[in-house]
Amino acid sequence: MVTISGIRRARGVQIRARYRCWIAHCVIAAPLLAGLWNMPPIAAAAPPLFLRPNPAKTEAIGQIPLDRLDAAARAKANSVIQNTSVFKRMTPQVIDCDPRYYMFLIRHPEVIVSIWQLMDATDMRITRKGPLQFAAADGEGTEGRLEFLYGDQKVHVLYGEGAYTGSLTKRPIRADCLLVLHSEFTTDKTGRSFVRAQLDMFVDVKSVGVDLIARTFQNMIGNTTDMNFAETAQFVTKLSRTTEQNGPGVQRLAMRLMDVDTATRREFARHAGEVYRQASADYSKTKTAQRQEPNRMVSLRDRPPGNAKPPATANR
């Protein structure tokens, strides 16, 4: 039987404290920027990356549904877009997950983080403060808030404001972030559902000196966020597969989640039950079809395939 502890042991999906929830990365990026604060300048023959044209960034901006945002949300999004210090388009990830289960997890990031807490895999905390608002802290000096500006089946837009105060820097570092998640749903020839997820990240670092360093080293910073995104996508796949095989265990887990309200825990348990029942029904259909498939009778007198002839009998 697959258990939640199996997620932790699974190769490539172990979530350690250094990995952060990619939804909350906008308020977690500051420590890395602070760590770059005291790095010596590096001479470069080519212009810094932030001075070069970035077609991916231009395309990403064009794909943000700004016309569907209200005036206040549009102002927040444009503020980050127009003052971007770091931009990163993450490597697309294919997630093996039921579409409704996936949408629930995307819109309830506190559920994933709470599971990590039960696994002793993170000190991060995300607490819902309203229908679309969250408070986030990484346990290492970074605190902030997150807000869904928009969401439908294909795209979600999140805005975050955060600040880091700790031993890595003498003064607080503030940063705003815009995360745009694109989701495409598809099925394979067996009818199994998959999600192709792509995340675009725009970060506006408020400190002038750190902003310059962040722009210069944005490729390095982007690689870190890319790794976090890939690890989280793998975790969602593993959680979905575990739910298919051990739905009752995941439902019991739902009732133990911290920093998650009762209604959300119950909704999580309901989704887990639906995924488990559907997987069980699909398995039963497959087994029934296999039993009903006629077996082809093969005679020992059948001729070999092609032009081959049966072996000649020896003359007596």
**137 in any annotated domain:** yes
Residue 159, SS3? strand
User: What are the counts of helices (DSSP H) followed by strands (DSSP E) for the chain?
Assistant: 10, 8
Please report the pLDDT score of residue 207 as a whole number. Answer: 67
Range of the domain at 277: 77-282
* Predicted local distance difference test score (pLDDT) of residue 224: 76
250 falls within a domain: yes
pLDDT in tens, 258-299: 999 999 999 999 999 999 999 999 877 766 666 666 655 555
Nearest CA to 176 out of 22, 20, 30, 23 is that of 30
pLDDT of residue 236: 97
293-314: burial string, b at 16+ Cβ within 10 Å, e else: eeeeeeeeeeeeeeeeeeeeee
Question: For all residues of the chain together, what is the average pLDDT?
Answer: 79
Name the more confident of 250 and 190: 250
Q: Is residue 315 part of a domain?
A: no
CATH number at residue 200: 3.30.530.20
Spatial separation of the C-alpha atoms in residues 124 and 126, rounded to whole Å = 7
pLDDT at position 271, please?
98
In a domain, residue 157? The reply is yes
Residue 164: DSSP 8-state: E
> Over the stretch 71-84, which tens digit does the pLDDT of each residue have?
999 999 999 999 99
In the chain, the number of structural domains is 1
Q: How confident is the model at residue 103 (pLDDT cuts 50, 70, 90)?
A: very high
